[in-house]
Structures are given as structure tokens and as C-alpha cells.
Structure 1
Amino acid sequence: MSASPGSGLWRFEAIGTTWRIDTAQPLDARTRAGVGAVIDRFDRDWSRFRSDSLVSALAQDGGVVPAPPDAAVLLDAYAAVSDATGGAVNPLVGDALARRGYDAGYSFVDGGAAPAPAAWRDEVRWDDGLLAVRHPHTIDVGALGKGRLVDLVLAEVRAGGGGGAVVDAGGDVAVSGTTQRIALEHPYDSARAIGVWAVTDAALCASATNRRAWGDGLHHVLDARTGEPVRRYAATWAVAPDAMMADAVATALFFEGGPRLAAQWHVAWVRMRTDGAVEWSPTSEAELFT
């Protein structure tokens, strides 16, 4: 990771996306190294694209391992999203994604639909400092993991004394000590926006079916109950106090239970249907161009 020229702007590539960190003051080398260590630790624990990660080892052999620091917060939130969506969101969807071609080697060769194990909480246990998988399964934290990592990076940046900060990891954005106007990219035309959302001391996360899409209508947002890509919604945006919560709701909004979960968590949102219609929550403060 190398800093771009300029007082408080740092761009780098990590976990398969472009990061941009803007701060009031330049980050020193120690803080940058701390950010790199946070990202590497999270990736070594949770990346299903790395053969040396913890979740790859569990996918190979199952078993019991010391739980990563994030296990409880991630999987507790996953359980809430799973309940709200009737099981459409499931942390064992990793094997279903790989079968459709979104695998560790990015083969993008479709092997057909296969549902994730419905009774996933009988297969995965996280308590007493341990993470256990009864049978070999691929845990995928993509529904909210990047949001969690954005929160961890922002905490590291703030500890380094960067002042007001904006952390943007490929569209998952956390804002601290400032206001950021964020465009809501049109899912069918990246040169256009459907609106703008002003975010202050909060996070905005987005998800869209045009990102990580391949083959004949395949993309990364699967209904875990069927192994099929979602078809009703094309893009979602959510604003919450932290990025993990915003990321979780942005995923849930592709399914019927999403708005109910957002209301329970006091999260504002916007979503676009595949027919172009736009829906939003009563609490949304987005300026929509519709």
C-alpha cells in the first residue's frame, strides 16, 4: 500500500477492491501500517478466496478453531439478517456461490444452482471463544463483512489522529467528523446517479447486481434458499451508524424482509427495482433524481 500524492488522500488496493481514505491530516507511516495489518488479519480469517485463510481450512476439514475477534459480532448480525429474510441470507452460501462460478479461482463457470444448508445454525457454532463447523462448509461473510472491515479501518485511522475521515472501500463508505455527499450510482449506467445522499458521522453501504456479474444473468447476490440470483431488485443503499449495519441492511433489502429489519435497526434506505422503480424508507434523507 502506497500513499498517493496530496495532504490527506490515500488510495490502495486490498481484498479485491479499491480503497480511498481521505483525512484532514496526512496519515503517518505507523497508522498506514496499522491499517494494512487490520485488513490482512481480517482477510486471513474470513476470505474464501485465500487458500491459507481460516474459513478455507474449515471448508476443507470442518472442525473447531479459536474464534476470530469478529466471529460473534459478524455471525450474530448474520443470524438477525437470516431470520428477517426467511433464510434467504445465509453464511453458508459460499459453496453455492462457488458452484455458480464465483469461486476462489474466479472461474465464472456455472455449475448450476444449489441451496445453502437451511439449518445453518446446526452446522455453525460460535461461543466460548470457539468457531465450530460440524461438516466442511464455506462460510461467506460477504453480506456484511466488508462493512465490518470498513469500521475497523476507520477506527484505526481515527486512533492515528487523522482528524475528520472518510473511508471508502468500493462503495461502502464510513464518514467521521465531516459530511460527505455520496452519489447513488445507477445500476445500469455507472456514469449516472439516481440521487445524492449527504452523510455525517455515519456509513452508507451499497450493493448492486451489476457488480460482480457474469454469464447469463448471474451475479453475486444469491437467494441462499435456492442458489438462484435475485431478480426483483437491482441496487440497494442503506445509511446506518456503522458500516457493518448498513452493509447488512443493504443485503437484506434484496428480499422481502429487508425493510422490516431496517425499521427495527433504525436504518434509512433506498432501493431500485429491476424495472427501474425506486423505493425508499420514510426516514431516507437522500435527494433522489426521480
Structure 2
Amino acid sequence: MPHPGWTDFSFDGIGTRWEISTPSPLSVALRGRLLDAVAEYDAAWSRFRPDSVIAGAARTPGRYVLPAGAAALGPLYETLYRLSGGAMTPLIGGSLEQLGYDASYSLRPGGPPLPAPPWDEVLDWQGTVLTTRAPVVIDVGAAGKGQLADLLSTELRAGGVGEHFIDASGDLLNAGSVPVEVGLEHPYDRTRAIGIVSLGAGALCASAANRRTWGDGLHHVLDGTTGAPVRTVVASWAMAATAMVADALATALFFVAGSRLREEFECSWLTVHSDGHAEYSADFEGVLFS
């Protein structure tokens, strides 16, 4: 809990654990609206359920209408696809399934790594409308959890709860007036921290190769150009005004130098490489342990 005396509302959604901390307990009605927002997001974007909107795109090419948030996700992914040379892509779902991270969680590779299809060949994303030219497995996990945190924050504000702190299994959004000290998890030992950062108003999101691992060195951060897990980076953190952007940039740091991302996004960042060295922006307000 970020502040002594605050209360927590905890639940599971989109495959992760959520904790929303507030100065006073949330009303039953507001809790219901939050859970409805989670359910609506899952119904649109989950590639793990056969009745979601994007599950249809995995079966049949065509025109798919998604919720309003898709209009913000599309341009964000397009920018990061360009900056990463196609390595970061919403079309990575088929590559994940190929390596065993599929709807049934088989965790058994179905063959060698499979590159994601080129965006321009199979996908047209205009606002809330996705038009596909071939069956594609879309996965917006690199930014979706962050976007949902932003949506829940908007719902809380609309319900009169301006002060709140959202923890989506380590992706954090602070809408409170007091900064929160956050430990940065060691990429090889979850019981240890490599540093501490002070999170004021805004979001701090992380991505790590030690999360969602299986098989022989497989993990969920794949390079769309090869379909194989990234080996050069083991962990990253990004801070931004919104959780959607921070979440997306944390993944983008596996492919793009933080200094390059800073040219197009207002953010601060930290990247830990597999050889042990770290790079970070001058305004990443944290302390790294030796």
C-alpha cells in the first residue's frame, strides 16, 4: 500500500492482479464500474478468449471495430513500429503462439521462431477500425495494461476519487499528491532490488525478461523481425505522464535506445543490458545500488 491508512480494492483482470489504493473505501457502484471497464477491455483485446473482437481477426480477414481507446493505441504502435524497424509490433501474437505462449498456455514451441507479418501487408489501423487482409493474431500487451490503468484512473476521477494509486502487477500509476518510493526489481532475483525511484504524479512501468518465461530460455519480449526473444536487454523502466505511454516505452527500450525515444516522447527511462551495464536518462529520479 503506497500510503498508510489508505484502503485497497484488489481484483484480477486481463491476466494480471490489480490493486487500487484510495484514501477512503470505494463505493459498491464505483467498484462495479471499474470491473465493467476491465471486462469491456478484455472482451475487445484478449487473444486468450475466442469471443473477443481481435480473436475474430485471427480467424477471418475483415473489418473490426474496437472501443474508443483503439484510436490512441494505433498511432502509438505505429510510431514505435517505425522507431524499432518493425521489431515492436501489435502483430507479434502469432510469433508468441509459435513459441508456445498461446491461448491454452501450452508453453511448447510449435517450431522455430516465426517473424511477425509486415504491418503494411496485412493491417490497416484507422482510429477504432482495424482492417485485416489476412488472418492475424494481434497482441497489444506491450501497451494495453497501461492503457487500462489510464481508463480506470479516468473512471475513478469521474467518480470523484481524484487521489488514487493503481498497481497493475508492478506497472504503477500515481494520481496522488504525494510521491511514492518504488523499488526496482532485480532482473535475476525478484526478492532483491537494484534501486529505488520516487514516483510523483504519473506512471512508472517496467518490462523484464524474467517475467512470463518458459522452456529453454524463452520469454515474452519478442523481436517482430525475427520472432525470437530479445537477448541484449534484460529489464527496463519508463516514466511518463500516462501509463499507456510508459508501458509501451518500457517494451520499446528492448529495441530502441532511450535517447532516441526521448526525441519523440516526454519520458525518463532506465535500461539494464544482459552484459550488466545500465543506461538511463539524466532525469530518471532514482538511486541505483552498486
Letter paired with 1:229: P
Residue 34 of structure 1 corresponds to which residue in structure 2? 33
Post-superposition shift, 1:157?
A: 1.7
Which structure 2 segments of 5+ residues have no match? none
Over 3 Å counting, the alpha-carbon distance change for 1:92 and 1:128 in structure 2 is closer
Q: Does 1:218 align with 2:218?
A: yes
Deviation at 1:192, TM superposition (A): 0.7
CA deviation digits over 1:38-93, x for unaligned, max 9? 11111110010111100101111121122321222111100011111111001111
Partner residue of 1:268? 268
Deviations 1:143-196 (A, max 9, x none): 211111111111112222234110010111100023211111001111111111
CA distance in 1 between counterparts of 2:205 and 2:70 reads 21
User: In percent, how many aligned pairs have the same letter?
Assistant: 46
Q: Which residue of 2 aligns with 1:70?
A: 69
CA contact (8 A) 2:223 2:229 kept: yes
Residues 46 and 141, structure 1, Cα contact 8 Å, conserved in 2: yes
RMSD: 1.4
Q: Tell me the equivalent position of 2:196.
A: 196
TM-score when scaled to structure 2?
0.94
Which is worse superposed, 274-283 or 230-239?
274-283
Give the letter aligned to residue 143 of structure 1. A
1:205 to 2:199 alignment: no
Question: Which secondary structure state, in structure 1, belongs to the residue aligned with residue 32 of structure 2?
Answer: helix
How do residues 1-290 of structure 1 correspond to structure 2 at under 5 angstroms? Answer: 8-111=7-110, 112-118=112-118, 120-127=119-126, 129-178=128-177, 179-290=179-290
> What displacement does 1:7 show?
5.5
Distance 1:136 1:283, change over 3 A: same
Alignment correspondent of 1:3: none
- Check 1:81–1:173 CA distance in 2 against 1; reply closer, same or farther (3 A cut): same
Counting matched residue pairs gives 284
Distance 1:142 1:8, change over 3 A: same
Aligned to 1:190, the other structure's residue is in SS state strand
**Structure 1 residues without counterparts, runs of 5 or longer:** 1-5
Normalised TM-score (structure 1)? 0.94
* Superposition misfits of 4+ residues, deviation over 6 angstroms: none
Q: Which amino acid aligns with 1:175?
A: N
Distance across 1 between alignment mates of 2:117 and 2:168: 30
